[in-house]
């Protein structure tokens, strides 16, 4: 008896592998976008909390600037912390500021992946509470 596989068996194996990959790959793109967007939103929330804490510790104004591709925490005209944005699109007040731990400029940020709304961060004026609400 000969060892090995025939060409027909090889074609059957490859067909099965490609069928499995055709189901896995489209779902993995959605999964990667979801996990990436969750991480970015948590990173933005963390940057806002850091700015609030830093303004309390330094007794001065700390700004949070959000652009299309990055989030910057600025204190005394120096960038203290920078994070990149790759997965989410942000709408709302993209400039926030804290003075002595209290919001100097507050607002709401809405996050989208594609055209789908996924989350909202709102900063309560006066008390500075940072609320994160997920749609899913």
pLDDT tens track for 64-79: 999 989 999 999 889 9
- 100 vs 57: CA distance, rounded Å: 8
DSSP percent split of the chain into helix, strand, coil, nearest 5: 40, 40, 25
CATH classification at residue 95: 3.55.40.10
Q: Which of 53, 51, 101, 108 is nearest to 81 (CA)?
A: 51
**Is residue 34 pLDDT above 80, yes or no?**
yes
3-state SS assignment for residue 78: strand
Number of domains forming the structure of the chain: 1
Q: What confidence tier does 2 reach under pLDDT thresholds 50, 70, 90?
A: low
pLDDT at residue 29 in the model? 80
Position 66 in a domain:
yes
Q: What confidence tier does 114 reach under pLDDT thresholds 50, 70, 90?
A: confident
Q: Which residue has the tokens 């500075």?
A: 128
| Mean pLDDT value across residues 91-97 | 92
pLDDT at residue 1 in the model? 53
Largest CA distance in the chain: 84
Position 1 in a domain:
no
Strand-strand pairing, 70-75 and 78-84: antiparallel
Q: Under 8 Å CB-to-CB from 3, ≥6 apart: which residues?
A: none
**Is residue 27 pLDDT above 70, yes or no?**
yes
Position 51 in a domain:
yes
- 104 vs 84: CA distance, rounded Å: 24
**H runs (alpha helix) in the chain:** 7-58
Position 2 in a domain:
no
Q: What confidence tier does 43 reach under pLDDT thresholds 50, 70, 90?
A: very high
Token code pair at residue 68: 């299309």
- Domain containing 23 equals 7-134
């Amino acid at each position: 008896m000969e060892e090995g596989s025939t060409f027909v068996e090889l074609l059957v194996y490859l067909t099965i592998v490609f069928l499995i990959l055709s189901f896995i790959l489209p779902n993995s793109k959605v999964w990667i976008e979801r996990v990436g967007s969750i991480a970015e939103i948590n990173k933005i929330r963390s940057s806002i909390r850091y700015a609030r804490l830093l303004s309390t510790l330094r007794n001065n104004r700390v700004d949070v600037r959000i652009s299309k591709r990055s989030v910057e925490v600025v204190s005394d005209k120096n960038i203290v912390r920078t994070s990149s944005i790759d997965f989410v699109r942000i709408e709302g007040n993209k400039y926030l500021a804290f003075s002595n731990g209290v919001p100097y400029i507050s607002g709401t940020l809405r996050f989208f992946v594609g055209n789908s709304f996924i989350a909202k961060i709102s900063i309560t004026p006066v008390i500075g509470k940072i609320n994160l609400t997920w749609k899913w």
